[in-house]
Amino acid sequence: MGTYAITGAASGIGAATKARLEADGHRVIGVDLRDSDVDADLSTPEGRAEAVAGIAAAADGSLDGFVPFAGLAAATGRPGSQMVSVNYFGAVEVLEGVRPLLAAAEHPSAVLVSSNSTTCQPNWPVELAELCLAGDEAAAREVADADPLGSYPAAKAALAYYARTKSVAAEWIGQGIRLNAIAPGLIETPMTAAGRTDPLTAEGMKMYPLPIGRGGNPAEIAGLTAFLLGPESTYFVGSVLFCDGGTDALLRAKDWPAAWELDLSAFRA
Ligand code: NAD
- Ligand 1 neighbour 50 (Cβ under 6 A): no
With beta carbons less than 8 A apart as the criterion, state whether 221 and 13 touch. yes
Q: Does pTM top 0.85 for this prediction?
A: yes
Taking the centre of ligand 1 as the mean of its atom positions, its distance from the CA of residue 113, in whole angstroms, is 9
Task: Identify the pLDDT of residue 268.
Answer: 80
CATH number, domain of 77, equals 3.40.50.720
Nearest Cα neighbor of 111 from 43, 40, 183 is: 183
Q: Is the CB of 155 under 6 A from ligand 1?
A: no
Angle between helices 148-166 and 90-97 (to 10 degrees): 30
Query: How far is residue 133 from each of residues 155, 161, 178, measured CA to CA in Å?
Result: 9, 8, 19
Q: Is 216 in the pocket of ligand 1 (CB under 6 A)?
A: no
Mean pLDDT of the 120-135 span: 97
Q: Distance (Å, rounded) from C-alpha 196 to C-alpha 26? A: 34
Query: What's the whole-number mean pLDDT along residues 7-30?
Result: 98
The contacts of residue 158 (CB under 8 Å, 6+ apart) are: 88, 128, 129, 130, 132, 133
Largest CA distance in the chain: 65
Is 165 a residue whose pLDDT tops 90?
A: yes
Residue 104 lies inside a defined structural domain of this protein? yes
Which atom in ligand 1 lies closest to the alpha carbon of residue 85?
Answer: 18
pLDDT at position 232: 97
Return the HEC string of the chain.
Answer: CCEEEEECCCCHHHHHHHHHHHHCCCEEEEEECCCCCEECCCCCHHHHHHHHHHHHHHHCCCCCEEEECCCCCCCCCCCHHHHHHHHHHHHHHHHHHCHHHHHCCCCCEEEEECCCHHHHCCCCCHHHHHHHHCCCHHHHHHHHHHCHHHHHHHHHHHHHHHHHHHCCCCCCHHHCCEEEEEEECCECCHHHHHHHCCCCCHHHHHCCCCCCCCCECHHHHHHHHHHHHCHHHCCCCCCEEEECCCHHHHHCCCCCCCCCCCCCHHHHC
Percent of the chain with pLDDT over 90: 97
The parent domain of residue 231 ranges over 3-117+159-246
Task: Identify the CA nearest to 67 among candidates 195, 187, 230.
Answer: 230
- CB distance 244 to ligand 1 below 6 Å: no
Atom of ligand 1 nearest to the CA of 16: 26
What one-letter code names the amino acid at 93?
A: E
Counting the structural domains of the chain, the total is 1
* 100 falls within a domain: yes
- Stated length of the chain: 269
Asked if 4 and 63 touch (Cβ cutoff 8 Å), the reply is: yes
- Any domain includes 177: yes
Residue 143 placed within a domain: no
Q: What is the pLDDT of residue 269?
A: 66
- Place 174 in a pLDDT band, splitting at 50, 70 and 90: very high
265 has pLDDT over 90: no
Mean pLDDT computed over every residue of the chain: 97
pLDDT confidence of 267, banded at 50, 70, 90? confident
pLDDT digits (tens, 9 = 90+) for 41-68: 999 999 999 999 999 999 989 999 999 9
Q: Do the domain assignments include residue 90? A: yes
Residue 122 lies in a domain: no
User: Stretch 144-149: mean pLDDT, rounded?
Assistant: 97
268 assigned to some structural domain: no
Domain membership of residue 130 (yes or no) is: no
pLDDT for residue 266 = 79
